[in-house]
Amino acid sequence: MGEGTRRQSFRIGDVLRVSCPAVRARVVHATRFDVTIEWPWARIDPESEIRWNGLRGFPRTEGAHGWSGLFRTGPEPGRLEIGDSCLVGIPESLVRITDIGLHDPPADVGWLPRPHTMLIVLPADRPHEPDAEEEGDTIDLDSAAPIRIELIARS
pLDDT class for 128, splitting at 50, 70, 90? low
The domain of 86 spans: 3-153
* Number of domains observed in the structure of the chain: 1
* Res. 1 pLDDT band, cuts 50 70 90: very low
- By the 10 Å C-beta count (0-12 exposed, 13-18 middle, 19+ buried), 28 is classed as middle
Distance CA 48, CA 70 (A): 25
Task: Tell me what pLDDT residue 126 has.
Answer: 79
Give pLDDT, residue 72: 94
pLDDT mean across residues, the chain:
89
| 3-class DSSP state of 81 | coil
Binned at pLDDT 50, 70 and 90, residue 132 comes out as low
Three-state secondary-structure class, residue 136: coil
Rounded to a whole number of angstroms, the CA Rg of the chain reads 16
| Whole-number Å distance between alpha carbons of 84 and 37 | 9
Q: How far apart are CA 54 and CA 111, in angstroms?
A: 8
With b for 16 or more beta-carbon neighbours within 10 A and e for fewer, the 81-97 pattern comes to eeebebebbbeebebbb
Higher-confidence residue of 155 and 96: namely 96
Instruction: State the Cα angle at 119 between 127 and 34, rounded to 5°.
Output: 75
**Is the pLDDT assigned to residue 34 strictly greater than 70?**
yes
Q: What are phi and psi of 79, to 5 degrees?
A: -105, 5
At residue 123, does pLDDT exceed 60?
yes
Mean pLDDT of the region 127-155: 84
Q: Which residue has the higher pLDDT, 131 or 120?
A: 120
pLDDT tens, residue by residue, 42-88: 899 999 999 999 999 999 887 655 677 899 999 999 999 999 999 99
